[in-house]
Structure 1
Amino acid sequence: MTILFISDLHLSAERTDITDCFLTFMKEETKGIDALYVLGDLFEMWIGDDDNSPFHQQIKSAFKQLTDSGVPCYFIHGNRDFLVGKRFSLETGVQLLPEHTVIDLYGKPTLLLHGDTLCTLDDDYQRYRKKVHNRFIQWLFFRLPLSYRQKIGNKLRSNSSMTNEAKQQDIMDVTPEEVEKVMADYQVLAMIHGHTHRPDVHSLTVDSQPALRTVLGDWYDHGSVLVCTPDGCQLETRDFS
């Protein structure tokens, strides 16, 4: 009995090493598992479900093979792929979850999320997030030709990289008070998220009770997987070939 969690792969056609590691993971490590959860930023950029590039088809095929085998797969949007939609879900069998989702992880209620909403000190990002999640703005964006959306996506990605380089590191990390508040709101003592690219397991106190916050790693230098069984969870890495 095993449930796997991954996030922040930032898959792109340019990083074949990450893609190869991911495809190997999907082929060799997901057979017969109880479930696979992807907690956002699967893709470096997603500008719409109508982008049927050979690269995206390859990734979607890997998920379709998994779900066709009977393994459920779940996806929570990240800040890079928040436009993944129903068509992607239908083509892959991957089930889209709300941005905050509580699951029963082998008897322990656990809150899953991407993690960007916890970074409340990053005012610029939170304003940007509110804008791009506006349904009307998304409606307008999807009516642009695919080539225009690609240019806009590339520009936003470039701006994001330059902006993040200028920010203090603590601003881009989660706010401890927000973590405690969210966990208390959902009445959980366990949380799993990605986004910050700082894999670790943090002990904290929520409503005077001991709690754990597990942060998933990114896939920039090696693969990163949280492996959970009824006996507990372990953060593991996977080498690029």
Structure 2
Amino acid sequence: MKPNSKIYFASDQHFGAPTAAASFPREQKFVAWLDEIKKDADAIFLLGDLFDFWFEYKTVVPKGFVRVLGKLAELKDAGIPVYFFVGNHDLWMGDYFEKELNIPVYHNNQEFTFNGKSFLIGHGDGKGPGDKGYKRMKKIFTNPFSKWLFNWLHPDIGVKLAQYLSVKNKLISGAEDVKFLGKDNEWLVQYCNRKLATNQYDFFVFGHRHLPLEIELNATSKYVNLGDWIGYFTYGVFDGETMKLETYTR
């Protein structure tokens, strides 16, 4: 990392939900945050569900999000690395970000090391015990045949249908997402502890949960869930030594 720089993490913006008009103020706030952190950002990690729905046809992408995409392009052009992790709402992300914005896209957890600190980073969906129904559903949606079938829907039909179903998803407004289950019952905590049995990580950073969490797993390892940009507007900051959550209040 460059001296006096920081690495920033954010997740679960769900732009487009519940409507484009209702989402727009949140998009403006997020763009303002990106503009503010560019002064000292060594890298920016976006951990999925940036959009409430995203599907890339061969020559078509969903309408909207121009300010967000433009700001990400500006940051990349300025030499700031940006990394994108696919979430469960934008799991049909293709190569648009890579070709148009030069932003690498990851579909699975990735390991990074910064200033000698090890990170395991991902969106967080489908990890840990339980939630077998969702895991089965994800296998169906990520199957190439399912994607091929959806591709045959006209974009005006396919995108509208998917947006309707996505907004109905419990992850947007479900009461379960704002209730802390207890350290022993949080499934991502259980997943992290299982990983620690075979590998040492200083920090686990995930999204998906929609609840800001900082949990010490042991004396040298910490789990951070980034919350969301729907009600919390929280994000993670690594200053080279410590990792913590902050809230954007502008």
TM-score by length of 2: 0.84
In 1: Cα distance, 2:119 partner to 2:171 partner:
34
Task: Report the CA distance shift for 1:131/1:231 in structure 2 as closer, same or farther (over 3 A).
Answer: same
Deviations 1:43-95 (A, max 9, x none): 11112262252x23332111111100000100000111111221232112211
Q: How many equivalent residue pairs?
A: 236
Partner of 1:220: 230
Give SS of 2:113's match: strand
- 2:8–2:235 Cα contact (<8 Å) kept: yes
2:209 is the counterpart of 1:196: yes
Q: Pick from 20, 24, 30: which aligns with 2:32? A: 24
Distance 1:113 1:64, change over 3 A: same
Alignment deviations for residues 158-182 of structure 1 (CA, whole Å, 9 cap, x no partner): 4423998497965x95254333223
Instruction: Give 2:43's aligned amino acid.
Output: A
Determine the C-alpha separation between the residues in 2 that align with 1:229 and 1:126: 35
* Contact 2:124/2:188, CA 8 A, preserved across alignment: no
Residues 41 and 179 of structure 1: CA distance in aligned 2, closer, same or farther (over 3 Å): same
Structure 1 partner of 2:247: 237
Which of 113, 118, 130 in structure 2 is aligned with 1:109?
Answer: 118
- 1:3 paired with 2:7, answer yes
After superposition, give the CA deviation of every residue in 1:169-206 in whole Å (9 maximum; x if it has no partner). 65x9525433322344554242100111111111224x
Q: Is the 8 A contact 1:37 1:73 kept in 2?
A: yes
**1:50-69 equivalent positions in 2, closer than 5 A:** 50-53=60-63, 55-69=64-78
For 2:224, give the aligned amino acid.
Answer: T
Q: What is the correspondence of 1:133-212 to structure 2 with a 5 Å cutoff?
A: 133-161=142-170, 165=174, 170=181, 173-205=186-218, 210-212=220-222
Aligned equivalents of 1:35, 1:4: Cα separation in 2: 6
Once the 2 structures are TM-superposed, how far is the Cα of residue 41 of structure 1 from its aligned partner? 0.8
SS for the counterpart of 1:37 is strand
Q: Counterpart of 1:94 in 2: which secondary structure?
A: coil
In 1, Cα distance between the equivalents of 2:191 and 2:163? 31
Question: How far apart, CA to CA, are the structure 2 residues paired with 1:57 and 1:162?
Answer: 24
Listed as ranges, the gaps of 5+ residues in structure 2 are: none
Does 2:51 align with 1:43?
yes
**CA distance change for structure 1 residues 52 and 32 in 2, over 3 Å: closer, same or farther?**
same
Is 107-116 or 25-34 further displaced after alignment?
A: 25-34
Instruction: Decide whether aligned partners of structure 1 residues 186 and 45 sit closer, same or farther in structure 2, where only a CA change above 3 A counts.
Output: farther
Q: Report the RMSD for the aligned CA atoms in angstroms.
A: 2.6
The answer to whether the 8 A contact 1:9-1:218 is kept is yes
Mind listing any 5+ residue stretches in structure 1 that lack a counterpart?
A: none
Q: Distance in 2 between matches of 1:166 and 1:224?
A: 18
Counterparts of 1:84-95 in structure 2 under 5 Å? 84-95=93-104
Give the structure-1-normalised TM-score: 0.87
Give the 3-state SS of the residue equivalent to 1:118 in structure 2: coil
